[in-house]
């Protein structure tokens, strides 16, 4: 199955979309990557979803990527009497370590590490910023606050402290257990939530040991302060606009999104834009015009993938959400303005043979009006560099490693095919032409631009560019 677009779609699985037939429908509608949200669902449910995804993959003969999204150190208040209370502007309210049920005057906050980061006048946001508290004074395990923005406070609502680097680990005890399952299931990507500093990635790599690629979710302002370092240590990055948008002014988010995408492209790292992209489709069969524009903006910016969360996990119209997102992305990419943006935003190639070859491949493909660029890869690094160039033609990735093929599904413009490695130049050209034709990427009389490394099968050794012509 050949998608009629370059940017990829990530669909989150959940109660609305976890049956095998539903997952197949999502794939056919346009989902390239399936996200397992480990903040919800049991291990048995995630195992069943993985079995279903791999069944769909086998049936359709196309690699499918799976992203395991760890919960991370999500901060939440404790239980509230009668399920909730109403806070009024100006009232005093206490947060403390007492595990008693909260009432009109206080609420439990079972995170001792938070109290070490609080100071006088620190602002505390609850329930995605709907409630705002300001710290008046701090004692051991207790914070006295005043309500600046009131509202309904209910059990287990999330809590954010803007501009604070919290002394919490990026990988919690729950994450460790979930990560072991994810690796056992052979997921392709692991997403780390609430990354604050480059050091957060080191521990994850020690655990993963190359068995999956690491995606850093940018949800904290402190991560933005170390953006280039985090990008360098990550295999991919997500602009997680939910929590990030709570802790930063909303007017800052559009420009920040563009900045992150630009820096990821410069580094040759895939970048995902997520959160509330088609939010209204949780309970509506069609998106708002603003949501359609939001998806298109991410595509114009050059994002590798756009993501659906509750729209497909818990919404009433999961298939429709994927289908509409597919149409929005495809239509945006047909716009002349999109091609103009891609042409003017090519990152400068690095002074390496692989970068020289992949930059030349794009230029040659455009000059000779080639049908596709074909890359032979083992690790996927050269194919990633080809995607960094944002060519106007598809990138056919040929690899003998199933894990590489699956990981690259998330990346812009890449059509992955698993095949045996080539033995010589004639084998390389024959296989490239045959598979491109079989996959519907080229037809008789058209040309391909083929890149590979000699000796064949050597990771990161791309040093050959050939032009191939499809004959009979």
Q: Write out the two tokens for 223.
A: 């991560």
Q: Which helix (H) or strand (E) holds 206?
A: helix 199-208
**Chain centre to alpha carbon of residue 100:** 38
DSSP string, 336-359: HHHHHHHHHTPPPPPSSHHHHHHH
- Reference 252, options 237, 263, 239, 264; nearest CA is 239
**Spatial separation of the C-alpha atoms in residues 42 and 18, rounded to whole Å:** 12
**Whose structure tokens read 């207790």?**
142
3-class SS shares of the chain: helix, strand, coil, % to 5:
40, 25, 35
**Spatial separation of the C-alpha atoms in residues 230 and 434, rounded to whole Å:** 40
Distances (CA, A) of 148 to 105, 195, 405: 15, 28, 51
Residue 269 in contact with residue 234, Cβ under 8 Å? yes
* Residues that are catalytic: 35, 76, 217, 275
Q: What are phi and psi of 308, to 5 degrees?
A: -105, 135
Q: Write out the two tokens for 293.
A: 């524009």
Q: Is the peptide bond before 449 cis (omega within 30 degrees of 0)?
A: no
**Spatial separation of the C-alpha atoms in residues 297 and 308, rounded to whole Å:** 15
Q: Write out the two tokens for 144.
A: 């006295």
**Whose structure tokens read 């449910």?**
45
Q: Write out the two tokens for 183.
A: 């690796």
Residue 414 in contact with residue 395, Cβ under 8 Å? yes
Specify whether the backbone of 9 is left (phi greater than 0), alpha (psi in -120 to 50) or beta: beta
CB atoms within 10 A of CB 2: 10
Number of H helices, E strands in the chain: 17, 21
**Spatial separation of the C-alpha atoms in residues 95 and 101, rounded to whole Å:** 12
**Spatial separation of the C-alpha atoms in residues 220 and 234, rounded to whole Å:** 16
């Amino acid at each position: 199955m050949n998608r009629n677009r370059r940017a990829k779609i990530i669909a989150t699985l959940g109660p609305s979309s976890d049956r095998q037939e539903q997952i197949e429908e999502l794939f056919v509608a346009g989902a390239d990557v399936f996200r397992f949200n480990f903040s919800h669902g049991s291990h048995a449910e995630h195992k069943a979803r993985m079995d279903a995804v791999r069944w769909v993959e086998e049936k359709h003969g196309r690699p499918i990527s799976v992203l395991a999204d760890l919960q991370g150190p999500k901060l939440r208040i404790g239980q509230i009497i009668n399920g909730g209370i109403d806070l009024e502007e100006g009232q005093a309210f206490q947060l403390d370590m007492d595990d008693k049920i909260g009432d009109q005057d206080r609420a439990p906050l079972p995170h001792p590490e938070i109290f070490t980061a609080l100071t006088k006048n620190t602002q505390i946001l609850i329930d995605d910023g709907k409630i705002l508290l300001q710290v008046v004074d701090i004692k051991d395990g207790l914070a006295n606050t005043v309500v600046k923005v009131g509202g309904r406070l209910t059990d287990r609502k999330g809590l954010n402290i803007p501009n604070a680097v919290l002394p919490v680990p990026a990988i919690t005890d729950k994450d460790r257990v979930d990560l072991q399952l994810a690796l056992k299931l052979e997921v392709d990507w692991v997403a780390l939530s609430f990354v604050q500093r480059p050091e957060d990635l080191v521990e994850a790599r020690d655990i993963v040991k190359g068995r999956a690629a690491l995606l850093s979710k940018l949800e904290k302002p402190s991560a933005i302060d170390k953006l280039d370092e985090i990008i360098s240590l990550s295999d991919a990055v997500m602009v997680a606009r939910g929590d990030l948008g709570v802790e930063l002014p909303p007017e800052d988010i559009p420009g920040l999104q563009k900045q992150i995408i630009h820096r990821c492209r410069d580094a040759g790292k895939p970048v995902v834009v997520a959160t509330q992209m088609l939010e209204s489709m949780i309970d509506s069969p069609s998106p708002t015009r603003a949501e359609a524009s939001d998806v298109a903006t991410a595509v114009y910016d050059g994002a590798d993938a756009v993501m659906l969360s509750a729209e497909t996990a818990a919404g009433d119209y999961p298939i429709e959400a994927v289908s509409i997102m597919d149409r929005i992305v495809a239509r945006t990419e047909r716009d002349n303005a999109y091609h103009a943006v891609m042409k003017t935003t090519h990152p400068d190639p690095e002074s390496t043979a692989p970068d020289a070859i992949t930059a030349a491949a794009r230029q040659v493909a455009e000059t000779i009006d080639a049908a596709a660029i074909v890359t032979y890869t083992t690790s996927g690094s050269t194919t990633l560099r080809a995607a960094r160039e944002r060519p106007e033609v598809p990138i056919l990735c040929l690899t003998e490693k199933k894990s590489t093929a699956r990981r690259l599904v998330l990346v812009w413009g890449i059509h992955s095919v698993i095949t045996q490695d080539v033995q010589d130049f004639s084998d390389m050209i024959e296989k490239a032409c045959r598979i491109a034709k079989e996959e519907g990427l080229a037809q008789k009389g058209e040309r391909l631009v083929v890149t590979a490394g000699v000796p064949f099968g050597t990771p990161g050794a791309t040093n050959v560019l050939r032009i191939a012509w499809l004959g009979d």
